[in-house]
Each structure stands twice: as structure tokens, then as C-alpha cells.
Amino acid sequence: MAQMSPSPLGIGAEAFAVFQAGMEALQAHRYADAARQFEALLQGFPAEGPLLDRTRVYLDLCRRELGRRSANLRTVEDRLTAATMALNQDDDGQAEALARSALEESPEQDLALYLLAAVNARRGHHEEALTYLSRAFAVRPDARAQARHDSDFDDLRDSDAFQALLEVPMPPPSRHTRNGKPSGLKSRHSGNQR
């Protein structure tokens, strides 16, 4: 495996690339994505002392901004609206953070589950996407119609598991007697009444 050459600042090229990705996300106000890059840098490159000092400052800035944004989004509905907007603007990190926040408060929130499925599908985390979709469909079965045409799930379209989730479960067949009454129910006039 070839080693990457160091950056002009004496920083390893790989560490510099992670830092640069974090800075680009920060400048685009994608604070959750930036925070993830900065956290990865802190964990993955402990020998990059001066760069890590700067990284900590930017990570704190991201965390403050994410906290400020979350404080302005008090209701589950506000967070889900913001999460949907973030997803539509390709800010998967922000969409994920807001959807998870909504889900913590309302564990059966179908839109939060659906948004997390979309984020995971975009990232190529297909098993997680299918798990969240399954949970979303259990809460709101008609969400299948949206998923059928949602481009976020394009990579899953050929998957048997995805196709199985999209199938609308049929209600169990009812058992009728000859007179049209369900066989499991007793007629008021049949048998002894107590």
C-alpha cells in the first residue's frame, strides 16, 4: 500500500483530506457532516497535534450550532420539517440528526423512520435502510406508495428484501359458513345462552 505524501503544512495527506472535507461541510453550513469529519480526524489521527487543536475548535463550533438549531426546533413536527428540507438539500447528516431527535421523543414516528431509511439507503447502508423502512411501514402501511417511487431507494430496487417490503400484506381470508356468517362467531339464536 502506497503512503500518501504529507501536505505542504507537514500534516499527513490523509489527515489533511479529512480536515478539508470537514471545513468544506462547515463552510456549507452542514454542521452534522462537518462534526462527523472532525470527530473522525480526532479519533483516527492522534499524532496530528497542531491540526487536532484547530479541529477541536471547529468541532465545538459545529456542536454549538447544532444545539442552537435544535433548540429552535422544539416540536417533533418542526424537526421533521427541517429534516425533510435537509434531506432535499442533500444534507444527510443534518437530516439524520433531526430525524433521530424526533424519534427519541416519538419512537413510532413514521416520517422519522422513513427519513432515516432514506439517509441509510443513500449512504449504501442497505440493511439499516430496510430495517427503518420496515418499521415505518408497520406504523403507516401507505408509505409503501411513496417508497416505490422515491429515488433515494434506487439502489435497493432490485433487492428481493426491498420488493418484499413493498408488497401490501393481504388481510387473512375470513372463514364463512354457508349462511354468510363468520364461522368463529355464534349466532344469537344458536346453542344455549347463559
Q: What mean pLDDT comes out for the span 49-56?
A: 89
In the Cβ-directed half-sphere of 171, how many Cα atoms lie within 13 Å?
3
User: Is residue 139 scored above 50 in pLDDT?
Assistant: yes
The half-sphere exposure of 52 on its side-chain side, counting CA atoms within 13 A, is: 12
Residue 117 pLDDT class (50, 70, 90 cuts): very high
Cα separations in angstroms, 126 against 122, 147, 149, 164: 9, 14, 17, 14
Q: 174 lies in a domain?
A: no
Largest CA distance in the chain: 94
Domain boundary among 56, 72, 88: 72
How far apart are alpha carbons 185 and 194 in whole angstroms?
16
pTM higher than 0.75, yes or no?
no
Domain-located, residue 51: yes
Q: What are phi and psi of 74, to 5 degrees?
A: -75, -40
Q: What is the CATH number of the domain that holds 128?
A: 1.25.40.10
Please tell me the predicted confidence (pLDDT) of residue 191: 42
- Lowest mean pLDDT: which of 69-78, 135-144, 154-163? 69-78
Domain span at residue 64?
Answer: 11-72
Q: Do 17 and 53 reside in the same domain of the chain?
A: yes
Tell me if 113 is assigned to some domain: yes
5 assigned to some structural domain: no
Q: Work out the mean pLDDT of the chain and round it to a whole number.
A: 81
Confidence of residue 174 (pLDDT cuts 50, 70, 90): low
97 in the same domain as 86: yes
Do the domain assignments include residue 183?
no
Question: Does some domain include residue 152?
Answer: yes
